[in-house]
Amino acid sequence: MANLTKRDLVVKISNETGLVQHQVFDVIQRTLDSITDSLSNGTDVELRNFGVFQVRLSKARVGRNPNIPGSNFAIPPRATVKFKSGKIMRQNVLELSARMKNSANGHAASNGGGGARETKPNSSAAKKA
């Protein structure tokens, strides 16, 4: 699966609305900048039917280097962004998981379903015969 890029969004919205790609890019970039500015000021961003971006402070914890036994160091608390999907997005993604599961089951059935593999003759055994 390929990732959806900002450029892909610009082209899609431009084609659907008839707006010039440069204008669409400017609107998308300003939207993302506004979300980033709000989060960097500690303000949560709620986009109905899409989701909520929340700034959360992670707890301080002790880190350990597995390559150096006995070496502990403090990891300070830091601000992170948490995303909680909205109801519509959550439902659409759940439908995707069901489609992926059905697709995987259909693929297994088309391969014989039993997991049997085709085996190649051992090259040394082939030479002896």
Q: Which amino acid is at 71?
A: S
Beta-carbon count within 10 A of 28 CB: 15
Which among 44, 76, 37, 36 has a CA at the least distance from the CA of 60?
76
pLDDT in tens, the chain (129 residues): 689 999 999 999 999 999 999 999 999 999 999 999 999 999 999 999 899 999 999 999 999 888 888 888 899 999 999 999 999 999 999 998 888 888 888 765 555 544 444 444 454 444 444
User: What SS3 state is found at 45?
Assistant: strand
Which among 65, 85, 84 has a CA at the least distance from the CA of 73?
65
Burial degree of 11 (CB within 10 A; 0-12, 13-18, 19+)? middle
Q: Tell me the domains of the chain and their CATH numbers.
A: 1-43 (no CATH), 46-107 (4.10.520.10)
DSSP letter (8 states) at residue 3: P
pTM of whole model > 0.85? no
